[in-house]
Amino acid sequence: MTITITPAASERMRQFLAQTPGAAGVRFGVKRTGCSGFGYVVDLATATGEGDRVLEVDGVPLVVDDKSLPLVDGTVIDFRRQGLNASFVFHNPNATGECGCGESFTVG
């Protein structure tokens, strides 16, 4: 299982974690949504549950549920600022297609 976080994404995640003492980590996974099938989920994990795995990536605890794990294996998480917009960007080798906005993806 490999998930990579760029320095920019790591810094942003650390900022979120610093603002929420006691958080279990950053939840990363997927949910069924969007025009292509799956959408990414990035949120603070207040706790871990059954079926969650905690991966330490560049010192950031990532909480990934067992169902998402095979869909996000190999993903590189980046954080980009463009003008007034800022967002996480995902480079997922498992994605076989994406919607036009890049918010959702399909797997083959």
Q: What is the pLDDT of residue 1?
A: 73
Q: Is the pLDDT of residue 19 over 90?
A: yes
What is the token pair recorded at 84? Answer: 């007034």
Q: Is 98 helix (H, G, I), strand (E, B) or coil?
A: strand
pLDDT tens string 89-100: 888 887 766 655
All structural domains of the chain, each given as residue ranges with its CATH number in brackets, are 4-107 (2.60.300.12)
Report how far residue 56's alpha carbon sits from residue 10's, in angstroms, rounded to the nearest whole number.
Answer: 11
The per-residue pLDDT of the chain, averaged, comes to: 87
Non-local (6+) Cβ contacts of 17 within 8 A are: 23, 25, 26, 44, 60
Instruction: Give pTM, 2 decimals.
Output: 0.84
